[in-house]
A and B are shown apart, each in its own frame.
With several copies, the nearest count.
Chain A
Amino acid sequence: MPWSRPEMAERLAREFQDGWIVNLGVGMPTLIADVDLGGKEIVFHAENGVIGFGPVAPEGQEDIHLVDASRRYITLPPGGAIVHHADSFALIRSGRIDVTVLGSYEAAANRDFANWKVKGAKGGVIGGAMDLAACAKNVFLMMEHRTRDGAPRLLAQCALPVTARGVVKLVITELGLFEPTGTAFRVRDLAPGVTMDELRAATAAPVTE
């Protein structure tokens, strides 16, 4: 049975090390802010300059001035700080972010990924992804294994325009947790009941154990 999104968030968060500064991208990755991290001290950073944010605000207790990169109304526990956009990306580009978790359209065995431009589009949705991808110490992707039409999103090389080259360390999908090795996806973990055959059928790149 494939992982649910909260299960994916929980599984990926186990890869965070104590003390890490973690940036969560738009969409699926923001679910990680709601994961119970046990004893680990994690500082969440949002590209819009919010440092040390907490879970989503309970209904009715939202602060209209306090959103994360996904426009969610978040909380800011004691110890948080606000910086402006240039200082926020200064933190990103100077390598202060231990890991950024980004959503993606495609992930490639050669560690490229593509998450900013869909086929045939004239515009793009770069946001902070190119800065984060180029500069975070680790880039993790949290994404669907296949498109709605069932086409694989894990490929030998990206078909869409890439966001950054050679940077992806880990990819989590509903089927498992994978490490791109340059030429293949190495399986780090599989969702319960998912077989290697199923995985290979769903993946357009070599898969190794």
Chain B
Amino acid sequence: MARRSKIVADFDAAVQGIEDGSTIAFGGFALPGSPFNLIAALLRQGAKRLVCVGNTTGGPRKPRNPDIGMLVENGQVAKVICSFTAGSRASDVLPFTPYYERGEVDAETVPQGTLAERLRAAGAGIPAFYTPAGVGTEIAEGRETRVINGREYLLEYALPCDVALLRAYQADEAGNLRFRRAQRNFGPIMAMAAKLVIVEVEEPILPVGAIDPDDVHTPGILVHRLVHIPPAPAAIWPTLKETR
């Protein structure tokens, strides 16, 4: 199988060609799995009118690492689709919030399990499915529901993405990925949902065959571009303190 390497030279090469108007999935739940270096490159690359899909738009914490909120501040975002579109404490004001309140950026607030399942559905060729999450709430208002076996469910549609930006722990040159611990989160399902999958990798990229086929978390046929993350300060390696 694939003998051609998927390794690209650097983060800027990795995000090359991402077009205006793309729907981009951003991996990560808190720090683990967040593609900080690829987001930094996307800020430089400058693609506009993006639809950004991720768990959050980024928190109010400082020092900040690159996040969807920075792309918003940089004028690159048309819409976000997240399970958090406000700060978790009422007193938190996200960098994203004023743009949303002024109507400069649109947002869709989605239950986290529905977000995950919509991504997985897109990657599984399932155009729509029913879920109990959100029934009877504001997010279900005006939407299609259906009673199945006596229970009410909400119809949800797949969320296909043009690009996924991910961070993994290990990869081989064929693109097979392994994530470490809670880093896995949205990685495998965003790789399924996207047409172009770009991954920053913590460990040096392994030769083909170094990962046992039973231990692959995301098969290489779903992965297109790999960049090994060089040591700080050339690349972003957040510390515990920066991410608490």
Contacts and interface: CB of A to CB of B under 8 A. Distances in A.
A and B in contact, CB less than 8 Å? yes
Kindly state the interface size class of chain A when it binds its partner. 35 or more
A128 B84 CA distance: 10
B156 to A, nearest CB: 12
Interface in B224-238: 238
Given A48-B182, A81-B213, A82-B216, A123 B86 contact: yes
Nearest to B190: A85
A47 interface: yes
A2 interface: no
A86 B123 CA distance: 11
Contact of A82 (B1, B86, B181, B238): B181
Interface string B111-128: 111101101101111100
Interface in B45-66: none
A90 B42 CA distance: 29
Nearest to A165: B136
B214 A84 contact: no
Given A42-B1, A131-B133, A79 B181 contact: no
A123 B107 contact: yes
A123 B100 contact: yes
A21 B29 CA distance: 22
Interface stretch (B11-19, B70-78, B142-150, B168-176): B168-176
Contacts, number: 228
A81 B188 CA distance: 14
Contacts of A49: 182, 184-185
A122 B97 CA distance: 8
Interface in A81-126: 81-96, 117-118, 121-126
A135 B114 CA distance: 13
B172 A79 contact: yes
Given A83-B184, A131-B114, A165-B136, 7 more contacts: A41-B3, A49-B184, A93-B126, A123-B97, A125-B86, A126-B111, A130-B113
11 contacts: A49-B182, A52-B221, A62-B240, A79-B220, A84-B217, A90-B192, A122-B86, A122-B97, A122-B101, A130-B113, A131-B113
3 smallest CB-CB distances across A and B, nearest first, come from A93-B125, A78-B209, A89-B113
Interface of A: 19, 21, 26-27, 41-52, 62-68, 71, 73, 76-96, 117-118, 121-131, 134-135, 161-165
